[in-house]
């Protein structure tokens, strides 16, 4: 079993005629994802990779059953693309686009949370993959393997590195979710932890965090008080200088707060073992699954 997507999920790609959209649509199809259509305003009636292209989500949804929308449009159009998908009742919206203005995302976040039943992953995220089944986004399928470890991560690159280390150690994943590292994202750690805890085939959860913000601390409290599934942690950025932005918009350390060390300590204080390297995390995962 997986969370969010599986081999029955029907996917539409917004921005399919652009370079990134076309490339990753092809990769998703090769992985086995059931991509049914694409959307690019003004390109309706054409085809890309054998898929019909429509001018709007509304038009596509009137002709296809759609469960997931993956967004590759430029940042200035991303707000409207997200709203178009949720307004047409698409359950899961995965926004890969980066550099979306914070003001736009603030409006989008409130609207999606308060007025729709849709779930938004991202923006500035690698997406979601259920190994051996389906992927929505830009995750490289070859580093993942079917298994029983659920991964939720703020960092795209670390998502691949941690998953690869687990796979090389003979440990597979049920679902891997890259939630994105921006200051405002549609889905946080706790949202995904809840889903994994309800998934009968996810026997271990790995939370991959990074410096900045308080999301890892909030997740630690939730895990301690509510989660029944064993959970491990990994935090990137032990050598990051304070006060300097590192990678994502959310990865800024202020004073003693938000450092990798403080986050790791909080997780461990709440009963979540933290690996200090990907290889150590894989060792902890192997031990946890044996017990």
- For the domain that residue 256 is a member of, what is the CATH number? 3.40.50.261
Q: Catalytic annotation on 103?
A: no
Over residues 268-288, mean pLDDT = 97
The pLDDT of residue 225: 97
Looking at the chain, the whole-number percentage of residues with pLDDT higher than 70 is 93
> Choosing from 24, 103, 248, 270, which is the catalytic residue?
248
Residue 78 counted as domain residue? yes
Is there a single domain that holds both residue 74 and residue 173? no
* Distance linking the first and last C-alpha atoms of the chain: 22
Residue 1 counted as domain residue? no
Is there a single domain that holds both residue 170 and residue 75? no
What is the span of the domain harbouring residue 236? 140-290
Q: Is pLDDT larger for residue 238 or for residue 182? A: 182
- pLDDT beyond 50 at 252: no
Of 151-165, 221-235, 243-257, give the lowest mean pLDDT range.
243-257
The pLDDT of residue 2: 85
- pLDDT beyond 80 at 245: no
Is there a single domain that holds both residue 98 and residue 168? no
Is there a single domain that holds both residue 91 and residue 155? no
Spatial contact of 153 and 162, defined as CB atoms under 8 Å apart: yes
The pLDDT of residue 1: 60
The pLDDT of residue 291: 79
Spatial contact of 159 and 176, defined as CB atoms under 8 Å apart: yes
The pLDDT of residue 253: 47
- pLDDT beyond 50 at 249: no
pLDDT digits (tens, 9 = 90+) for 169-226: 999 999 999 999 899 999 999 999 999 999 999 999 999 999 988 999 999 999 999 9
The answer for 282, left when phi > 0, alpha when psi is -120 to 50, beta otherwise, is alpha
Is there a single domain that holds both residue 89 and residue 210? no
The pLDDT of residue 106: 97
Is there a single domain that holds both residue 96 and residue 144? no
Over residues 80-98, mean pLDDT = 98
Label residue 258 by pLDDT band (50, 70, 90).
confident
Over residues 52-74, mean pLDDT = 98
- pLDDT beyond 60 at 48: yes
Over residues 69-75, mean pLDDT = 98
- For the domain that residue 95 is a member of, what is the CATH number? 3.40.50.720
Over residues 42-59, mean pLDDT = 98
Question: For the chain, what is the domain count?
Answer: 2
Q: What is the DSSP string of the chain?
A: --SS--TT-EEEEETTTSHHHHHHHHHHHHHT-EEEEEE-TT-TT-EETTEEEES-HHHHHHHS---EEEE---HHHHHHHHHHHHHTT-SEEEE------HHHHHHHHHHHHHH-S-EEE-SS--EEEETTTEEEES--GGG--EEEEEEEES-HHHHHHHHHHHHHTT--EEEEEE---SSS-SS-HHHHHHHHHH-TT--EEEEEEESSSSHHHHHHHHHHHH--S-EEEEEE-TTPPTT---SSTT---BTTBT-HHHHHHHHHHTT--EESSHHHHHHHHHHHHH-
What whole-number distance in Å separates Cα of residue 3 and Cα of residue 177? 9
Is there a single domain that holds both residue 156 and residue 271? yes
Is there a single domain that holds both residue 104 and residue 20? yes
The pLDDT of residue 237: 72
């Amino acid at each position: 079993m997986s969370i969010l997507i599986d081999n029955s999920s029907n996917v539409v790609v917004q921005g399919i005629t652009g370079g990134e959209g076309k490339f990753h649509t092809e990769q998703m199809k090769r992985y086995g994802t059931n991509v049914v259509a694409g959307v690019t305003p003004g390109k309706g009636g054409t085809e890309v990779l054998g898929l019909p292209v429509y001018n709007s989500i509304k038009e596509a949804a009137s002709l296809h059953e759609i469960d997931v929308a993956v967004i590759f449009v430029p940042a200035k159009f991303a707000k409207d693309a997200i709203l178009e998908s949720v307004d047409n009742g698409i359950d899961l919206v995965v926004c890969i686009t980066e550099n979306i203005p914070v003001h736009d995302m603030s409006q989008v976040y409130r609207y999606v949370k308060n007025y729709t039943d849709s779930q938004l992953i991202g923006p500035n995220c690698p997406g979601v993959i259920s190994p051996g089944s389906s992927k929505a986004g830009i995750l490289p399928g070859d580093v993942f393997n079917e298994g029983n470890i659920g991964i939720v991560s703020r960092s795209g690159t670390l998502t691949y590195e941690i998953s690869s280390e687990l796979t090389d150690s003979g440990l597979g994943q049920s679902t891997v979710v890259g939630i994105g590292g921006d200051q405002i994202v549609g889905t946080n750690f706790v949202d995904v932890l809840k889903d994994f805890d309800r998934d009968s085939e996810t026997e271990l959860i790995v939370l991959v965090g990074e410096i900045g913000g308080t999301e890892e601390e909030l997740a630690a409290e939730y895990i301690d008080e509510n989660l029944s599934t064993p959970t491990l942690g990994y935090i990137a950025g032990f050598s990051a200088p304070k006060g300097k932005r590192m990678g994502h918009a959310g990865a800024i350390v202020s004073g003693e707060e938000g450092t990798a060390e403080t986050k790791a300590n909080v997780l461990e204080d709440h009963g979540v073992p933290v690996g200090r390297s990907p290889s150590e995390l894989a060792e902890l995962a192997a031990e946890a699954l044996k017990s």
